[in-house]
Structure 1
Amino acid sequence: MSEKVILCVDDEEIVLNSLREQICDHFEDYQCEVAESAQEAWEVIDELFDEGVNVLVIVSDWLMPGMKGDEFLVEVHKKFPKIIKVILTGQADEEAIKRAKEEANLYSCLRKPWHVEDLIKTIHSGLNSR
């Protein structure tokens, strides 16, 4: 198992499948994990952490059932401040993005539909900023 993980969180399976494919194609040395909610994402993060594997990047949707992406990323930042956090959304309000920047050290916000080049460039740039 790769020691380097990129986690994608979105409540739409088709989006997760696209993200996984695009990320796997461009980041061959990384493992790409997916979760359909913030709760499921925490389960993945905790399981990986217990195995000694760190999540390096989280790409999260904003509008999800249960917990919105900005709230999730703020909570992640409290426990894992070094994770690079990216919101990928078609619906986030500006206040939520501002909050994520201030309280979660949000690295970037990409809008749906996204261009694969922008996604890959953002992840590369985030990883290089660590």
Structure 2
Amino acid sequence: MLDSAILCVDDEEIILRSLRDQIKKHFGNSYIYECAESGEEAWEVIEELTDDKIQIIIIICDWLMPGIKGDEFLIKVHQRFPKILKIMLTGQADTVAIERAFSEAKLDYYIPKPWDEAQLIAAIESGLKKRYD
């Protein structure tokens, strides 16, 4: 059974599908791939995975979402799970929100939308190498 997961959080289903497909195409069956359409749904996924003893290693998160902005969500994630690699993938965040995410959530990478698949995969690989080697 797999024991590591990658979580994508975005309020647009097409974005989630695209992210999951691109990441899975590169990493294959090495990880569990989960998606959530809001911060609230993401917390439900996080709780389920944690209960099942599955470690979330990466969260890729949009900034502009209903309920909670991506920087606020990632700050809460960091407070509880500081070792998770955090990537903000957005076309909407302002510089204050991005700086706040780097400062308070220890954001690992910011990637603007529309994203380049190679840049996304390189950020994930670099982050994994830096964090888990």
TM-score normalised by structure 1 residue count: 0.98
- Describe the SS at the equivalent of 2:111: strand
| Unaligned 5+ runs, structure 1 | none
What is the RMSD of the two structures over their aligned residues, measured on CA atoms? 0.6
> Per the alignment, in what secondary structure is the counterpart of residue 122 of structure 2?
helix
Indicate conservation of the 8 Å contact 1:6/1:33, yes or no: yes
Q: Distance in 2 between matches of 1:75 and 1:90?
A: 21
The answer for the alignment partner of 2:5 in structure 1 is 5
User: Following TM superposition, by how much is the alpha carbon of 1:129 offset from its aligned partner in structure 2, in angstroms?
Assistant: 1.0
Count of residues in correspondence between the two structures = 130
AA paired with 1:91? Q
Name 1:34's counterpart in structure 2. Answer: 35
Question: In percent, how many aligned pairs have the same letter?
Answer: 58
**Offset of 1:2 from its aligned partner?**
1.6
Matched, 1:17 2:28: no
User: 2:120 maps to which residue?
Assistant: 119
1:50 aligns with 2:46: no
Q: Which consecutive segments of 4 or more residues in structure 1 shift more than 2 A? A: none
- For the residues of structure 1 that align with 2:25 and 2:4, how far apart are their CA atoms? 15
Structure 2: unaligned runs, 5 residues or longer: none
CA–CA distance in 2 between the matches of 1:25 and 1:11? 22
Q: Secondary structure at the match of 1:47?
A: helix
Aligned to 1:94: 95
Q: Secondary structure at the match of 1:129?
A: helix
> What is the TM-score with the length of structure 2 in the denominator?
0.96
Whether the 8 Å contact between 1:7 and 1:59 is mirrored in structure 2 is yes
